[in-house]
Structure 1
Amino acid sequence: MRIKLPGSRKVKSTVLAVCAVVAIVIIITAGINNKKEKQIMQAKIEQQQKQEKEDQKKIKIEIEEKKKKQQQLDQKAGQADALFYARKYDDAIKLAEEVIKEDPDNYIAYNVLGITKIFKSRTLDEGMKDLDRSLQLKSDYGYAMFNKGLAYELLGYYDEAIEWYNKNLKVEKYVWSYYGIASIYGRRGDIENTVKYFKKAIEVDPKVKETAKDEHDFDPVRGDERFSRLLK
């Protein structure tokens, strides 16, 4: 069924033309708007991607800076350890405390601080707390286990010393833990265990023979051929 428009053919043609133009304008406008929306959306996506890249870059820089800072603090704790072995106890304590002030969770610094306090005071009081704190922060930290053994040996708690040396040996084959156990048994005159653990120390590092030659802890067993052979 045809729809008849009112008016003359000319009017009808004009109306149809206008309608066509309007339709075209609507279509074009819709297309333009759609294109603008796509452009806006694309711009938002690009801006978001740019922001994500900037955020990732920022995070990467922060991680690298944090890692670098941690390395510097660990090196500082290592310097404190060197001062301990040089018997500069006050300097070692000061440096370790500086590290802990900046990094309260630095298990390396607590380890150094603890053993240094013990050697300086010849008591287990505060120093042992620091060693325990080191192991709380890193339960498998072999060096702190060794230092607990060393501290107990220093103060004559030999059974406890052997216990902690053995704990250290469960996480690492540390020559001085073997040596420490051997020296305690040597002090006791227990030749079998002295030889057993001293052999293990030599297997890890033969240079301990030179240290043992002047070690008074081995005097009770030094005359035994089984021990003297190991020194050759």
Structure 2
Amino acid sequence: MYSCKSFFFIATALLLGISGCGSFPNSTQPLASSISSAASAIPSIDPQSEQLFQKGLTAYESFNYNEAIFFYDKSLSIDKNNYKALSGKGIALAMQGNENNSTQDITSGIALIKSALQKNPNYVAAFYDLALALKINKNYDESIYWFQKVIQKEPDNTWSYYGIATIYGDKGQAKEAVTYLKKAMSLDNINVKQAARTQSHFDSIRSDPAFKSLINE
């Protein structure tokens, strides 16, 4: 579990409006296969590097991405194998790129998160970070793949279900969006319903009877 990031997951779902549709990759396999599933040993993290990672995380959860990147860089200067800091810097870069319309920041962030998963293929927080970064980059099929990876490890991860629902909403696939919204609402009805009512991801399906019924219950 990664409860230290739970606040940010909720904040991301409620406050970040990542919208729009892009091209869909033919397969998720190239990305998945690029991340080794057989690391010989998960590296231990230097205690001082861990402390700096935590400072970066605090800044990140407050949406201070520049400050977060600063602390993640300091963390990595002490321990280059700190997979938490690698993933943290990666998603902070992707979020910053989303704000600044910087494709380079987004793609650099994705590469860093993948590097974190090379060092620890079972780091579930990086699954979520990668799903979110790929969503920002409009790699929607790959994003769904990694949200599903989170759910496999944590079946009660509300905002991974919601993340998938927003992708289907962006694609105009009402049936699939409603399916995943129901799953998210079963875990956090009030916050998920509020997000679905206000975010633009679902604009293309707002007239769908099942969607209308769900968010107005």
TM over 0.5: same fold? yes
Counterpart in 2 of 1:208?
192
Counterpart in 2 of 1:90?
66
Secondary structure of 2:186's aligned partner: helix
Q: Equivalent of 1:196, from 144, 160, 179?
A: 179
Q: How does 1:1-232 map to 2 (within 5 A)?
A: 70=47, 73-121=49-97, 122-123=102-103, 124-173=106-155, 174-206=157-189, 207-231=191-215, 232=217
- In the alignment, the residues of structure 2 paired with residue 81 and residue 202 of structure 1 have an alpha-carbon distance, to the nearest angstrom, of 27
AA of the residue aligned to 1:131: I
Q: CA deviation at 1:101?
A: 1.5
Instruction: Name the Cα RMSD after superposition.
Output: 2.1
AA of the residue aligned to 1:92: A
- In the alignment, the residues of structure 1 paired with residue 108 and residue 133 of structure 2 have an alpha-carbon distance, to the nearest angstrom, of 12
Looking at secondary structure, tell me which structure has more helix per residue: 1
Q: CA deviation at 1:93?
A: 0.5
Question: Would the aligned equivalents of 1:140 and 1:171 in 2 still touch at CA under 8 Å?
Answer: no
- In the alignment, the residues of structure 2 paired with residue 92 and residue 188 of structure 1 have an alpha-carbon distance, to the nearest angstrom, of 32
Show CA shifts across 1:125-148 (max 9, x none).
321221012112221111111111
- Report the identity percentage: 32
Q: CA deviation at 1:92?
A: 0.7
- In the alignment, the residues of structure 1 paired with residue 171 and residue 129 of structure 2 have an alpha-carbon distance, to the nearest angstrom, of 21
Show CA shifts across 1:24-51 (max 9, x none).
xxxxxxxxxxxxxxxxxxxxxxxxxxxx
- In the alignment, the residues of structure 2 paired with residue 177 and residue 153 of structure 1 have an alpha-carbon distance, to the nearest angstrom, of 12
AA of the residue aligned to 2:204: P
5+ long unaligned stretches in structure 1: 1-65
Question: Would the aligned equivalents of 2:49 and 2:74 in 1 still touch at CA under 8 Å?
Answer: no
AA of the residue aligned to 2:118: Q
AA of the residue aligned to 2:200: H
Q: CA deviation at 1:150?
A: 0.8
When Rg is computed on C-alpha atoms for both structures, the one with the higher figure is 1
Q: CA deviation at 1:190?
A: 0.8
Distance 1:74 1:228, change over 3 A: farther
Secondary structure of 2:81's aligned partner: coil
TM-score, with length taken from structure 1: 0.65
Secondary structure of 1:112's aligned partner: helix
Q: CA deviation at 1:76?
A: 3.3
TM-score, with length taken from structure 2: 0.69
